Amino acid sequence: MADGDTKKGGNTAHGGNAKSEGAGLGAPPSGVGAGGLTYKERPQSIEAEQVLLGALLVDNEAYFRVADLLSPEHFCEALHGRIYKAIEDLVRKGHVATPLTVAPFLTRDEGLAELGGTDYLVTLAAASTSAYLALDYARIVNDLAVRRNLIGIGEELAAEAYDADIDRPPEKLIDETEEKLFRLSQTGRAQGGFQSFGVAVNRAKEMAEQAYSRDGHLSGLSTGLVDLDHRLGGLQPSDLIIVAGRPGMGKSALASNIAFNIAKGFRAQGGEDAVAKGLGGRVGFFSLEMSAEQLAMRLLAEESGVASSRLRLGDFDEEEYRRVAMAVQTIDDIPLHIDDTGGISIGTLAARARRQKQLVGLDLMVIDYLQLITAGSAKRYDNRVQEVSEVTQTLKALAKELNIPVIALAQLSRQVESRPDKRPQLADLRESGSIEQDADIVLFVFREEYYLKLAEPSPDGPLDKYEEWKAQLEKAAGLAELIIGKQRHGPTGVVRLRYDSEITRFGDYIPDDHLPERYE
């Protein structure tokens, strides 16, 4: 993580010159060169590194207090990084790490030989004060390593900004720099590890009490679809939810409907109070396939009730125009933020999500769709399955990190079309192994009406066959099935929904015999 320059001098530490209790092992003051000239040295504390290593050599148990915070790359002095690595290897294998047991692993290390070999390791251990302070010194070493990395990122940014490469516009440079900064901000955090089971039980109890006290008894964020909420308990924080379907099934419409419902609920139900009650939230929508304008047209059609095809053509009367104008006023300031960057990498997507969370808040993230995200790393993959696996693992980790539900749309393979019953299954997911494994919930969108329209028999054929098809089509018209193929914390099953293809809107299914009587 830190720069790999070997520096045997210097005592510039966090916030100024740090004088540790291990003084005497250090070297000449930093920044002093020939002829008394001075230069600005990168933040470092050789003494802090020495005292830390000494503490680890004296008390190996101290390693487990600093392991989550440090790696060999955090040490400014490269030799100290190699000594730390040797201690780490011994302790993790259950062996004792002392100057005498560590020395054989560094017999060919020229840097250690210059400082006296085993004698230097003995001096480190002898100068150690208290192993109890190891974590404090580890924080200093980590903090200075982060600062050096920040300087490196800044210098790299400046150099690349001077180089006006037409293939690297400033926007791309900004995204790459943000990705580096966010990645740096997430490293070296000693926040993981075991926790008391009692703490986890009490958190679960709080969730149950919260669900009991809410309208609708939801522990998560309401989708705006009653039956779906009942099955899922709402969208749960840290869940990765896959919404899959073949083209034409309406998965993009379903995702945009849910996002729209949640964003509208945030404003209608009182902002932060809406989030606390699970009735609304701030939404980030990554639309990798549709432009922001196309998505906005869909939402405008849903709110106004005027078909998006007619909106694009301007084919509406005065009354419909008034409805469109009112719809614009209603949804103009809802907290639904759209990023329509095509071909985005998972690293850039994660960086932008973190930035959105920090700047304006983020309670739900939607990605349309999964297979359009690239891994975006220098690593080469043997096949697409491995690349998608990295994407889904990162999305799941991001959902946990931001503590929000993440909805990712996914395409299904063509093998669905080869079966008589075209209802999708988990095996139909493209690159299904990684997607199915990492997802907490998998939902399949299925509309029989779509397939029936494709299978229309010739009107010139047998009349009974045509009438049978027509009856099936009428029965399936406007209906959709949301198949819960996987759910970690609940049952699977099918949720029936209404679907209006004109305005691409899903709604709760109400059987005809439950509707009020109509009077002509």
- CATH number, domain at 120? 1.10.860.10
Residues 68-74 have a mean pLDDT of 85
Of 169, 186, 203, which closes a domain? 186
Confidence band, pLDDT 50/70/90 cuts, at residue 3: very low
Structural domain contains residue 517: no
Of 412, 429, 446, which closes a domain? 446
The pLDDT tens digits of the residues spanning 312-355 come to 887 778 888 888 888 888 888 889 899 888 878 888 888 888 88
Question: Could you list the residue range(s) of the whole structural domain that residue 430 is in?
Answer: 228-446
Task: Indicate the Cα dihedral angle 90, 92, 95, 99, nearest 10°.
Answer: 40
**3-class SS of residue 494:** strand
Asked if 339 and 352 touch (Cβ cutoff 8 Å), the reply is yes
Whether residues 258 and 163 fall in one domain? no
Whether residues 354 and 434 fall in one domain? yes
Residues 137-149 have a mean pLDDT of 89
- Per-residue confidence (pLDDT) for residue 387, from 0 to 100: 77
Tell me whether strands 406-411 and 364-368 are parallel, antiparallel or unpaired. Answer: parallel
**3-class SS of residue 244:** strand
Q: Looking at this protein, which amino acid is placed at residue 182? A: F
Of 155, 186, 217, which closes a domain? 186
Structural domain contains residue 81: yes
Whether residues 289 and 161 fall in one domain? no
Whether residues 130 and 238 fall in one domain? no
Residue 226 CA to residue 234 CA, distance in Å, equals 9
Confidence band, pLDDT 50/70/90 cuts, at residue 311: confident
Whether residues 337 and 405 fall in one domain? yes
Whether residues 179 and 232 fall in one domain? no
- Is residue 189 pLDDT above 60, yes or no? no
Whether residues 59 and 121 fall in one domain? yes
Q: Which helix (H) or strand (E) holds 71?
A: none
Q: What is the pTM of this model?
A: 0.66
Whether residues 260 and 406 fall in one domain? yes
CATH of the domain at 253: 3.40.50.300
* 72 secondary structure, DSSP code: G
User: Residue 142 contacts by C-beta under 8 Å, 6 or more apart in sequence?
Assistant: 69, 70, 74, 188
User: Residue 381 contacts by C-beta under 8 Å, 6 or more apart in sequence?
Assistant: 375, 387, 390
- Overall domain count for the chain: 2
Structural domain contains residue 516: no
- Per-residue confidence (pLDDT) for residue 61, from 0 to 100: 86
- Per-residue confidence (pLDDT) for residue 196, from 0 to 100: 58
**pLDDT-wise least confident of 206-210, 285-289, 407-411, 453-457:** 206-210
The pLDDT tens digits of the residues spanning 494-519 come to 999 999 888 888 989 887 655 555 44
Query: What are the DSSP calls for 442-490, one per residue?
Result: EEEEE-HHHHHHHTPPPTTS-HHHHHHHHHHHHHHTTEEEEEEEEETTS
- Is residue 9 pLDDT above 60, yes or no? no
Whether residues 151 and 256 fall in one domain? no
